Chain A
Amino acid sequence: MKVFFAILAARLTAFLAKIRGGKSSSVPGAVALKICPDLVRRLSAQVRKGIVCVCGTNGKTTTNNLLCSALEGAGNKVICNKLGANMLNGVATAFALSASLGGKIDADYASIEVDEASTVKVFEFMKPNAMVITNLFRDQLDRYGEIDITVDLLTKAINMAGDVTLVLNADDPLCAAFGYKNNKQTLYYGISQKVLPQTDDTKEGRFCPICGGKQWYNYYHYSQLGDYECTKCDFKRPPVQVEATAVSLNASDITFKLNGSDMVLHYKGFYNIYNMIAVYAALTALGVSTENFSELLKSYKPQIGRMEEIVLDGKPVILNLAKNPAGFNQAIGTVLTDPRKKDVIIAINDNANDGRDVSWLWDVDFEKIWSDSLNTLTCTGIRLYDISLRFKYSDVKVDSTTADMKAAIEKTLKTDTEVVYILVNYSAMYTTEDIMLELKKKYGGKA
């Protein structure tokens, strides 16, 4: 009976949220857990073939949703927390809303994104067969304390998971260390060549996660990702089973070889290669065929706010979410590879789900946004002055500091530029997309 009422309550809550136009995907789960605290255990135990958990600082949602598409493409029924609500409540929502009122679920796989800090809580109820860790960057420090705490939590979660296959980014020493320290079956993926110009952005984990010795890098991809080797102990980038090579970053696509096969990605951002090969590795870990993988990549559409392009009044306006230094540096790098004359708007909020602390703004190489093709730079969001000062102290001219995102976008539509980039952090993403869609109604799309 408990299960019945829990699922009923979740459905009602989701229905009410829907008619109110809300986007919260964690409240139905929260309500269900109040009634039946072990609902996730009861439901997840019924998954027939396997449960994958995707965690890591950046790329969780993209990786998890593509993984879900790949599993569905292979004819499976999949439970997935698609909207990215990734704490215990969000996981409960995903399970509760796909269950019958009798508490039965009909699923071959569950592909579940889990917030790193929530893994211990979630694994108390759900035992994954495979666990993907994409990367570990500084993120929302005030929620996690420090990156070491995240590592400790994940270590504990891995131990709780029992017989699990780890799917790890070999290029990230903080990830690879989980494979080195744990006696679990492990599959590594990575990009095995130098691709990007070497920069000096903030590097996490310059020191060996095993012994604390200094790490030597053959090359960097970005942040601490690259080909590394400890100068003191035997820890180094492990051999990879899933490997990207021959990477070419082109104006409109990315091409690379994945374990020797040609792949084309129709959207921007070097980091997306990691998301894609993580999916390939997870499929391999689950024993699912990867035969149609290149077809899957061709048809895949990016999520909201992941270099999402909306044409307004004939001008492409590209919205991109970045939540932390690694993400922003990658976004800025992607903006720079676009040679068109452009306006750039940056919005920084400090709501609870953004992280209250915005000091990370100083770990982003924001000054690199300046180039000959930059027309105007606008700063907005709750912390508009922090980001404006960030530019002032880097000698980059800010053309406008305004709390009004809509006015800011409208202004850029009137300039003679060819493209507008809007870089936002988490809570600014949905509001900005809403404004863009509203403006699309007002101005129309194509000219």
Chain B
Amino acid sequence: MPYSINILHMFPDLLNLYGDKGNIECMRKRLQWRGIEAKLIKCTYDEPFLDFDKVDIIFLGGGSDREQKIVCSKLLEYRKQLKDYVEKGGVLVAVCGGYQLLGKYYALPDEKIEGLSILDIYTEHGSPRLIGNIVLQNEDISQSIVGFENHGGRTFIGSHTPLGKVVKGFGNTGQSGAEGVCYKNVVATYLHGPLLPKNPQLCDMILEKALTQKYPDFAGLEALDDTMENTANTYMQDIILKK
């Protein structure tokens, strides 16, 4: 049976701060290189989206504060569909602003933005912004995760499992030693932009979740030639950990 995965990019017209395209392209290409069909669907600000049943991976990116405010009220209209999707085991990748919006709220100095309450987490604005390269270790994959974080918010994840332990960098609050959240098939993180191209194991973990969810007898992903990806990953680890 030919496999096929539908990736939904939510509000690419609003939440597109810095290279989210890299993550989408990485998922798409790593499916296609294995002969798996990958379709990209967009849910834009103007047109209502109804077909959550047909979606296998949802990507929710980051925006500037202004864009995030615009998107927030729009996103709340989809709260029930998104919540059902996640509880049924749908795969959702949320980055930066998208990560914050999954929580209960984001408290800014002068206002409180209501979130989707899909995760039992909340975010408070803090100063200074937490900016820099970061290395994480996730329990399920051997390759360290390398990326870049830039966030004013401090996210408190309660009893949720983090995406990884911070080896170097700030993470959720700058102090907790944890970064991101993994909940059911949700992967949420502050590591923005082209996170997945340099972290092929993390990308494949996400793809495998989606394929297993859709095809319960899915036998696992074939290996790809990741020489360039792995070199890029190790090279960044060396640079970040040396400093």
Verify B228–A385 contact, CB threshold 8 A. yes
| CB closest residue in chain A, given B192 | A359
Q: Which of B11-19, B50-58, B114-122 contacts A (4 or more CB under 8 A)?
A: B11-19
Known A385-B232, A388-B228; contact A207-B193, beta-carbon cutoff 8 A: no
Verify B17–A360 contact, CB threshold 8 A. no
Q: Which of B65-73, B83-91, B175-183, B215-223 contacts A (4 or more CB under 8 A)?
A: B65-73
| CB closest residue in chain A, given B65 | A148
Verify A359–B19 contact, CB threshold 8 A. yes
Specify which chain A residues have a CB less than 8 angstroms from the CB of B192 in the assembled complex: 359
Interface positions, chain A 356-403, Cβ under 8 Å from B, are 356-363, 385-386, 388-390, 392-395, 401
Q: How far is the CA of A148 from the CA of B45 in the complex (A)?
A: 20
* Residue B131 is within 8 A (CB to CB) of chain A in the complex: yes
* Residue A146 is within 8 A (CB to CB) of chain B in the complex: yes
* Of A146, A207, A359, A388, the contact of B194 (CB 8 Å cutoff): A359
Q: How far is the CA of A219 from the CA of B67 in the complex (A)?
A: 23
Q: Considering residues B20, B129, B194, B229, which has the most beta carbons from chain A within 10 angstroms of its beta carbon?
A: B194
* Of A146, A356, A389, A395, the contact of B228 (CB 8 Å cutoff): A389
Verify B18–A360 contact, CB threshold 8 A. yes
* Residue A142 is within 8 A (CB to CB) of chain B in the complex: yes
Known A147-B64, A393-B197; contact A142-B131, beta-carbon cutoff 8 A: yes
Q: How far is the CA of A358 from the CA of B148 in the complex (A)?
A: 9
Verify B228–A359 contact, CB threshold 8 A. no
* Residue B78 is within 8 A (CB to CB) of chain A in the complex: no
Contact with A along B81-123 (1 / 0, CB 8 A): 0000000000000000000000000000000000000000000
Q: Which of B22-30, B34-42, B154-162 contacts A (4 or more CB under 8 A)?
A: B22-30
* Of B45, B131, B194, B228, the contact of A362 (CB 8 Å cutoff): B194
Contact with B along A195-216 (1 / 0, CB 8 A): 0000000100011000010100
* Residue B46 is within 8 A (CB to CB) of chain A in the complex: yes
* Residue A141 is within 8 A (CB to CB) of chain B in the complex: yes
Verify A362–B70 contact, CB threshold 8 A. no
Verify A361–B228 contact, CB threshold 8 A. no
Q: How far is the CA of A362 from the CA of B19 in the complex (A)?
A: 4
Specify which chain B residues have a CB less than 8 angstroms from the CB of A202 in the assembled complex: 16
Specify which chain B residues have a CB less than 8 angstroms from the CB of A148 in the assembled complex: 64-66
| CB closest residue in chain A, given B23 | A362
Verify A146–B65 contact, CB threshold 8 A. yes
Specify which chain B residues have a CB less than 8 angstroms from the CB of A363 in the assembled complex: 18-19, 21
Shortest C-beta distance, A399 to chain B (Å), equals 13
| CB closest residue in chain A, given B151 | A145
Known A207-B70, A389-B229; contact A138-B26, beta-carbon cutoff 8 A: no
Q: How far is the CA of A401 from the CA of B227 in the complex (A)?
A: 12
Tell me how many residues of A have a C-beta within 8 Å of chain B.
30
Shortest C-beta distance, A415 to chain B (Å), equals 23
Verify B193–A393 contact, CB threshold 8 A. no
Size bin of chain B's contact surface: 35 or more
Specify which chain B residues have a CB less than 8 angstroms from the CB of A389 in the assembled complex: 194, 197-198, 228-229, 232
Specify which chain B residues have a CB less than 8 angstroms from the CB of A390 in the assembled complex: 22, 194, 197
| Total contacts A-B at CB 8 Å | 97
Q: Considering residues B26, B129, B150, which has the most beta carbons from chain A within 10 angstroms of its beta carbon?
A: B150
Verify A362–B66 contact, CB threshold 8 A. no
| CB closest residue in chain A, given B129 | A145
Known A356-B133, A357-B193, A363-B18; contact A385-B235, beta-carbon cutoff 8 A: yes
Verify A357–B22 contact, CB threshold 8 A. no
* Of B65, B129, B232, the contact of A386 (CB 8 Å cutoff): B232
Q: Considering residues B17, B18, B29, B65, which has the most beta carbons from chain A within 10 angstroms of its beta carbon?
A: B18
Verify B152–A357 contact, CB threshold 8 A. no
Specify which chain B residues have a CB less than 8 angstroms from the CB of A393 in the assembled complex: 22, 25-26, 29, 197
Specify which chain A residues have a CB less than 8 angstroms from the CB of B19 in the assembled complex: 359-363
Specify which chain B residues have a CB less than 8 angstroms from the CB of A142 in the assembled complex: 131-132, 148, 150
Known A359-B193, A393-B29; contact A385-B231, beta-carbon cutoff 8 A: yes
Q: How far is the CA of A358 from the CA of B21 in the complex (A)?
A: 13
Q: How far is the CA of A120 from the CA of B229 in the complex (A)?
A: 42
Known A362-B193, A386-B194; contact A207-B18, beta-carbon cutoff 8 A: no
Specify which chain A residues have a CB less than 8 angstroms from the CB of B16 in the assembled complex: 202
Q: How far is the CA of A401 from the CA of B229 in the complex (A)?
A: 13
Verify A359–B46 contact, CB threshold 8 A. no
Specify which chain B residues have a CB less than 8 angstroms from the CB of A138 in the assembled complex: 17-18
Contact with A along B178-204 (1 / 0, CB 8 A): 000000000000001110011000000
Specify which chain A residues have a CB less than 8 angstroms from the CB of B231 in the assembled complex: 385
| CB closest residue in chain B, given A391 | B228
Verify A362–B22 contact, CB threshold 8 A. yes
Shortest C-beta distance, A392 to chain B (Å), equals 6
Shortest C-beta distance, A275 to chain B (Å), equals 26
Q: How far is the CA of A230 from the CA of B15 in the complex (A)?
A: 20
* Of B70, B152, B193, the contact of A145 (CB 8 Å cutoff): B152
Q: How far is the CA of A356 from the CA of B16 in the complex (A)?
A: 19
* Of B26, B29, B150, B194, the contact of A141 (CB 8 Å cutoff): B150
Specify which chain A residues have a CB less than 8 angstroms from the CB of B18 in the assembled complex: 138, 141, 357, 359-360, 362-363
Q: How far is the CA of A110 from the CA of B27 in the complex (A)?
A: 52
Verify A357–B13 contact, CB threshold 8 A. no
Verify B22–A146 contact, CB threshold 8 A. no
Specify which chain B residues have a CB less than 8 angstroms from the CB of A401 in the assembled complex: 228
| CB closest residue in chain B, given A362 | B19
* Of A145, A214, A385, A394, the contact of B45 (CB 8 Å cutoff): A214
Verify B64–A357 contact, CB threshold 8 A. no
Q: How far is the CA of A214 from the CA of B228 in the complex (A)?
A: 40
| CB closest residue in chain B, given A389 | B197
Chosen A-B contacts, 8 in total, with CB atoms closer than 8 Å, are A145-B129, A146-B64, A214-B46, A356-B148, A362-B19, A392-B228, A393-B22, A393-B29
Question: A-B pairs with the 6 shortest C-beta distances?
Answer: A359-B193, A362-B19, A385-B232, A359-B19, A362-B22, A146-B64
Beyond the given A360-B18, A361-B194, please list 6 additional residue pairs across the A-B interface where CB-CB is below 8 A.
A145-B129, A202-B16, A212-B69, A357-B150, A362-B25, A385-B236
